[in-house]
């Protein structure tokens, strides 16, 4: 029997006992016609009385039962833990120049960081700016800052391809954790520097969820298109990257979204759909909080995600993630889209 025709992976009865009455898909707004703000669901540091608290606690316990996962965040360099208050006086510069300086800082370009700021090699691979849309703010939170600097950190695809991870072979998921740590380092130092220039700055560093949904922000600032697997596809790194961000009131110029044909590609590709053990990825777009888009079935994904310490199969197998392939695909599909537009 081909893998495609096998029955889906099924969670254990112990797992089912952790779930609340409401399904994760309902909680996330599947089938809802009216737009509404998203609700936090993963990864909450302190789940408190969240409906999925028992599941979230169980996932955390499962990760921390393995030394490698326990250590990867505990001992990592994630930049400064405490940020200074914004300097009393603002440094003056134009929005164009601040945007250039912020991006150069995130990318750690030569000469971009003051001498007393550490630069640990390449740091970020992607950086963009978005104007914060209130629909990205999770229910129960407010955002008073107008701009978001979004940071992307490429993953080592060979290491990522070792997912699904286990206690015995944690490498694939450790790559995910390492890139979250790198993103945290960039976000925390960038926020530190922005504050030293007299502006507000609030870092968002994964895997922990903050007050903003970073996925639509990353799309808005040109990181790429939403793929069938519910994650981003970038024209350089495919889905092999992680994101972090810094909210700020520094004057910055927003970037434009980047469309290069990934959405069209997904319409005719089923690689992730067939590779997903619990069959959580649909070949059809879903209506979610008033928008029809690619969206993963949370209730099917999360038990397997939990079992395999973060899964990630769909990111690793996506053809766009294969090193060197995304730029060629982007070129081909952008050309096709331009030809189609010219004919219509
Ligand atoms: S993370 Fe794993 S279980 Fe979830 S959608 Fe991707 S392949 Fe499926
Ligand atoms: S594997 Fe194929 S269908 Fe899935 S996200 Fe990647 S390109 Fe789209």
List the structure tokens of 1. Answer: 């029997």
Return the pLDDT at 122. 60
How many angstroms is it from 222 CA to the middle of ligand 1? 24
CA 292, CA 228: separation in Å to the nearest integer? 12
Atom of ligand 2 at shortest distance to CA of 238?
Answer: 6
Question: Is the C-beta atom of 313 inside 6 A of ligand 2?
Answer: no
- How many angstroms does the Cα of residue 264 sit away from the middle of ligand 2? 10
Would you say 123 and 182 are in contact if contact means Cβ atoms under 8 Å apart?
Answer: yes
Distance 272 CA to ligand 1 centre (A): 8
pLDDT at 121: 57
Looking at the CA of 273, which ligand is closest?
2
CB neighbours of 63 closer than 8 A, spacing ≥ 6? Answer: 69, 70, 309, 310
Residue whose CB lies within 8 A of the most ligand 2 atoms, among 269, 280, 325, for a mutation test = 269
| Ligand 1 atom nearest to 317, measured from its CA | 7
Q: What is the pLDDT along the chain (344 residues), one digit of tens a residue?
A: 445 667 888 888 888 888 899 999 999 999 999 999 999 998 998 999 999 999 999 999 999 999 999 999 988 999 998 999 999 999 999 999 999 999 999 998 888 788 777 765 568 999 999 999 999 999 999 988 999 999 999 999 999 999 999 999 999 999 999 999 999 999 999 999 999 999 999 999 999 999 999 999 999 999 999 999 999 999 999 999 999 999 999 999 999 999 999 999 999 999 999 999 999 999 999 999 999 999 999 999 999 999 999 999 999 999 999 999 999 999 999 998 788 778 87
Structural tokens at position 199: 């502006």
* Atom number of ligand 2 nearest to Cα 227: 5
Ligand 2: does its nearest atom lie under 6 Å from the Cβ of 223?
no
The model's pLDDT over 86-102, given as tens digits with 9 standing for 90+, comes to 999 999 999 999 999 99
Strand partners, 291: 288
With CA atoms as reference, report the closest residue to 326 among 154, 177, 164, 130.
Answer: 154
Least Cα distance to 209 among 31, 38, 55 occurs for 38
Q: Which of 340, 315, 317 is nearest to 154 (CA)?
A: 315
Q: How far apart are CA 284 and CA 301, in angstroms?
A: 16
**Counting every residue, how long is the chain?**
344
Ligand nearest to the CA of 313: 1
Which DSSP string corresponds to 228-272?
A: TTSSEEBTTTBT-EEEEEEEE-S--PPPPP--SSHHHHHHT--HH
Task: Compute, in angstroms, the gap from residue 303 CA to the centroid of ligand 1.
Answer: 10
Contact yes or no for 143/211 (Cβ under 8 A)? yes
What is the per-residue pLDDT for 16? 83
Q: In this predicted model, what pLDDT tens digit does every residue of 135-172 receive, in sequence order?
A: 999 999 998 899 999 999 999 999 999 999 999 999 99
Cβ of residue 241 lying under 6 Å from some atom of ligand 1? no
């Amino acid at each position: 029997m081909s893998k495609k025709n096998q029955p889906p992976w099924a969670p254990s009865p112990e797992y089912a006992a952790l779930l609340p009455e409401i399904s994760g898909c309902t909680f996330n707004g599947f089938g809802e016609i009216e737009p509404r703000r998203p609700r936090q669901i993963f990864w909450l540091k302190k789940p408190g009385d969240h409906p999925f608290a028992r599941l979230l606690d169980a996932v955390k316990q499962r990760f921390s039962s393995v030394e490698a996962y326990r250590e990867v965040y505990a001992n990592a360099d994630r930049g400064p833990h405490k940020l200074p208050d914004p300097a009393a006086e603002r440094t003056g510069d134009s929005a164009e120049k601040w945007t250039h300086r912020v991006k150069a800082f995130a990318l750690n370009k030569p000469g971009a960081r003051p001498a007393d700021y550490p630069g640990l090699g390449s740091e970020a691979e992607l950086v963009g700016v978005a104007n914060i849309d209130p629909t990205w703010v999770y229910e129960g939170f407010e955002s008073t800052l107008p701009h978001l600097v979004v940071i992307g950190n490429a993953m080592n695809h060979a290491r990522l391809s070792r997912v699904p991870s286990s206690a015995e072979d944690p490498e694939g998921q450790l790559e995910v954790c390492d890139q979250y740590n790198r993103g945290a380092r960039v976000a925390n130092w960038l926020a530190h520097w922005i504050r030293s220039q007299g502006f507000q700055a609030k870092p968002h560093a994964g895997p922990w969820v903050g007050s903003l949904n970073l996925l639509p922000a990353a799309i808005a600032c040109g990181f790429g298109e939403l793929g069938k697997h519910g994650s981003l596809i970038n024209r350089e790194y495919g889905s092999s990257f992680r994101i972090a961000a810094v909210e700020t009131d520094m004057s910055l110029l927003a970037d434009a979204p980047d469309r290069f044909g990934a959405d069209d590609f997904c319409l005719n590709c089923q690689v992730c759909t067939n590779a997903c053990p619990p069959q959580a990825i649909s070949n059809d777009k879903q209506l979610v909080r008033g928008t029809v888009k690619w969206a993963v079935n949370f209730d099917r994904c999360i038990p397997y995600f939990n079992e395999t310490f973060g899964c990630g199969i769909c990111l690793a197998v996506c053809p766009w993630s294969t090193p060197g392939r995304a730029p060629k695909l982007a070129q081909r599909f952008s050309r096709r889209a331009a030809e189609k537009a010219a004919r219509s």
